[in-house]
Amino acid sequence: MKYRTIGTNPTTRREVSVLALGAMLFGSVTDEATSFAVLDRYVEAGGNFIDTSDNYAFWADGGQGGQSEALLGRWRRSRGIGDEIVVATKLGARPLAPGTSYTDNPEGLSAKVVRESAERSRERLGLEKLDLLYAHIEDHTVPLQETVEAFAALVAEGTAGLLGVSNHAVWRVERARALAAAAGLPGYEVLQYAHTHLRPRTDVPDALFPDGSLGHAGPDLLGYLRAEPGLTLVAYSPLLKGAYTRPERLPADFDHPGTPARLAVLRDVARETGASVNQVVLAWQIGGELPVLPLAGVSSVAQLEENLAAVDLELTPEQRARLDAAH
């Protein structure tokens, strides 16, 4: 395994494995025995960066989520896991009632929610301190200052460490960070967005993003990373939920004229290296110029083994140049 430092403050920064493990479906779609087997193998291989959220996976049973955090808590206790494993979780997108969603009834990011939701997450996970806590989605009903101060209060109390943000417009991320800096408070340092080798259309509106997707790492966000070396991108859905091997799963926003050329280069590099296309995508992210940590969920140990092998896959500068340039 290889490792990267996330965060800049010596008291909260952590060394994490370059391949993060997504636990979104653990305890719901993925049964407990399989989830525990995947977690055990990941840790055995040197992995120490596990991602969840307080709303995972509410859609599996029409509830409010919490199954993933609860499973991770049971796994931690059964294995005697301490703070050597970095568990990241998120708040803000938990439905407030069963049968609703984050698009119509989210918990939001008020000071009250931040405190209460973080406490529930700590209880489910069995943690005194949340190593990395994200604001999951935007909340336009609450002033940014209130959210910034609420997250910072958890850090001051020692119940949260690093702070992160996901699925926010880049201008709101920067505004929140500027508010924190002006007040001498800790701000967001880890950015979690969808990112893969294929490039999506971001102009297609949906229920959460009426002006087009804010959930993908586009040129604004990647340029922000170049300008702010203290930030790290955690890239969710790097393997497009299996679409690289099962094209029928390719999301509609990737169905555009630029996709075939990037797929072709991926397949060429996979043939040259003897690796799978999935492994090339992960290796491209892990070894790239920008600080990107792929976050990949799996439903079996076999899928995890494929992903783990990508950590040691070294792409040549020429291969990287071709992968970057395809359009």
Count of other CB atoms within 10 angstroms of residue 77: 11
Interhelix angle 259-273/277-286, rounded to 10 degrees, is 100
The reported pLDDT for the residue numbered 206 is 87
For the chain, which residues make up each domain, given as ranges? 3-325
Strand positions, DSSP E, 23-62: 49-51
The reported pLDDT for the residue numbered 68 is 98
Residue that is written with structure tokens 């229920």 in the block: 207
Residue 324 burial (10 A CB sphere; 0-12, 13-18, 19+): middle
Q: Which of 135, 121, 128 is nearest to 93 (CA)?
A: 135
Whole-angstrom distance, CA of residue 223 vs CA of residue 201? 18
Q: What is the CATH number of domain 3-325?
A: 3.20.20.100
The reported pLDDT for the residue numbered 259 is 97
The type of residue at 156 is: A
pLDDT (tens place) for every residue of the chain, 327 residues total: 999 999 999 999 999 999 999 999 999 999 999 999 999 999 999 999 999 999 999 999 999 999 999 999 999 999 999 999 999 999 999 999 999 999 999 999 999 999 999 999 999 999 999 999 999 999 999 999 999 999 999 999 999 999 999 999 999 999 999 999 999 999 999 999 999 999 999 998 988 999 999 999 999 999 999 999 999 999 999 999 999 999 999 999 999 999 999 999 999 999 999 999 999 999 999 999 999 999 999 999 999 999 999 999 999 999 999 999 999
